[in-house]
Structure 1
Amino acid sequence: MILVIDVGNTNITLGIFDKEELVSSFRMTTKIPRTSDEYGIMISDMLRTRNVEQSDIEAVIIASVVPGIMHSFKNGILKYIKKTPFEIGAGTKTGIKIATANPREIGADRVVDAVAAYDLYGGPLIVIDFGTATTYDLISADGSFLAGVTSPGIRISADALWNQTAKLPEIEIKKPASILAKETITSMQAGLVFGCIGQTEYIVKKMIEESGIPDMKVIATGGLGKIIAESTDVIQIYDPALTLKGLKIIYNKARGK
């Protein structure tokens, strides 16, 4: 079994692959400071609830955009899972050519998403990840990462809305029945969700227009992406496990499989 881990700004998402099948996934929060022992014990316990022992894990692969926790996190894996984790970084064989001005600036999560989307669905395509930030990445027919757009994620926008105003409450992020809201909570939900839908449609349209590539697929992932994907026809596929699949694909490439 292979343990794949996506360390994001909000959550750490872990997946277990048995051969090529994703058999389980689970999450923990990123922002709580933890020691290597806490990380190791939590991961070991989560594995055991899935009837997986540390001896069942052949390898661990990580993509991280949170360097500040990685020393403790990787040490926890080494101490409790007994494997030295393979972390994706500059020089990792991915099959994607980064054709931007500074390739090292592209986050590991975006590269992993691009690898998965291109390998599973083919190019040209736009990959949208509705995470802490919402990212839109353009991948050409030959697998080159050509351009990317970064905007605040839905939850960042929501946090700003209720933390920077005196009377607006913290709310559940969901799509209301109508944009014609009659009270405060649904008016906030309408602004957040319909605003993100509008942003998605406009950015995708402009990326297609300015790239001159009319026949692009649009693949979406990310925790809140399902709400948006179900509400617009510019997204063809919503794949919630895209990043985990990309990690396994990169592991296979790195091992020459």
Structure 2
Amino acid sequence: MLLAIDAGNTNVVFALVEGREIKARWRIATDPRRTGDEYAVWLHNLMALEGKGPADIEAVIIATVVPRALHNLEVLSTKYFDCDPLIAGHDPVSWGIQLDIPEPGSLGADRAVNAIAAHALYPEDLIVIDFGTATTFDVVDYSGAYKGGIIAPGINLSLDALVNAAAKLPRIAIEAPEGNMSVIGTTTESQMHIGVFWGYVAMIEGLVERTRAEIGRPAKVVSTGGLATLFDEHTRVFDAIEPDLTIQGLAMLYERSKS
């Protein structure tokens, strides 16, 4: 069984994968100071609830956009799972796709893995949207080449900046405004909901429209990340939702390394 680890800026996701089937997944807040020993105590307990233990792990693969977190995840792998971890983007799990951008080394591991997985699932022109700490839009052409993309502040990051900068604004939940879908709010809270939620929907729809126009061909929109399902209920811009796209991509990279 494969232990796939996706270390993002906000959370680290651990998943048990058999073939390409995800058997279990857990997440913990990203903290570069968290040691391999601390990860092990937390993870072993969760694995035990699924009837699994360290002996079930045959390999570990890691994708991270937090360089300081990598060492402790490597310690977790070698000390507690007796595996030298595979690091996504490094031999023997190099990307294997064309990165058609001036500085390929600057591309986040999660975005490259998403591009690999999305193209494998949908071999056509794609716009891959990932709702994370940042909201990223990645363009992958029909050959699987990565062509570039967009980075925007994540919706939670935008809300935090708004609340922290304006003393009288309350903290609100990320959810669709209730009621008749009016975009004219009558209370502070309703106006914030409208601005944050519908403003974000408008950004997504507008950037997708502009990106499709620049590509010049029909492009399927594939969405992933925790908020993808919420936004999917209120826009028709998404063609497919893949909640575990990054983990799927890591499983594909692992399969490729074996061959």
Normalised by the shorter chain, which TM-score bucket?
over 0.9
| 1:231 counterpart = 2:234 | yes
| 1:210 counterpart = 2:214 | yes
Secondary structure of 1:126's partner?
strand
Q: Is the 8 A contact 2:3 2:60 kept in 1?
A: yes
| 1:175 counterpart = 2:176 | yes
The within-5 A match list for 1:33-182 is 33-90=33-90, 92-177=93-178, 178=181, 179-182=183-186
**Could you say what the CA RMSD is over the residues aligned between the two structures, in angstroms?**
1.4
Q: Is the 8 A contact 1:40 1:81 kept in 2?
A: no
Question: What is the distance in 2 between the residues matched to 1:130 and 1:195?
Answer: 15
Aligned length: 255
Residue 76 of structure 1 deviates from its aligned partner by: 2.1
Question: What is the distance in 2 between the residues matched to 1:32 and 1:69?
Answer: 4
Question: What is the distance in 1 between the residues matched to 2:161 and 2:79?
Answer: 39
Secondary structure of 1:251's partner?
helix
Residue 32 of structure 1 deviates from its aligned partner by: 6.8
Residue 19 of structure 1 deviates from its aligned partner by: 2.6
Secondary structure of 1:93's partner?
coil
More displaced, 84-93 or 141-150? 84-93
Of the three residues 247, 251, 255, the one matched with 1:248 is 251
Question: What is the distance in 1 between the residues matched to 2:22 and 2:61?
Answer: 14
Residue 253 of structure 1 deviates from its aligned partner by: 1.1
Q: Is the 8 A contact 2:2 2:60 kept in 1?
A: yes
Residue 236 of structure 1 deviates from its aligned partner by: 0.7
Show structure 2 runs of 5+ residues with no match. none
| 1:190 counterpart = 2:194 | yes
Question: What is the distance in 1 between the residues matched to 2:58 and 2:190?
Answer: 48
Question: What is the distance in 2 between the residues matched to 1:59 and 1:31?
Answer: 23
Secondary structure of 1:202's partner?
helix
The within-5 A match list for 1:10-25 is 10-25=10-25
Q: Is the 8 A contact 1:138 1:146 kept in 2?
A: yes
Change (3 A) 1:59 1:90: closer
Residue 164 of structure 1 deviates from its aligned partner by: 1.2
Q: Is the 8 A contact 2:32 2:68 kept in 1?
A: no
Residue 41 of structure 1 deviates from its aligned partner by: 1.6
Residue 90 of structure 1 deviates from its aligned partner by: 4.5
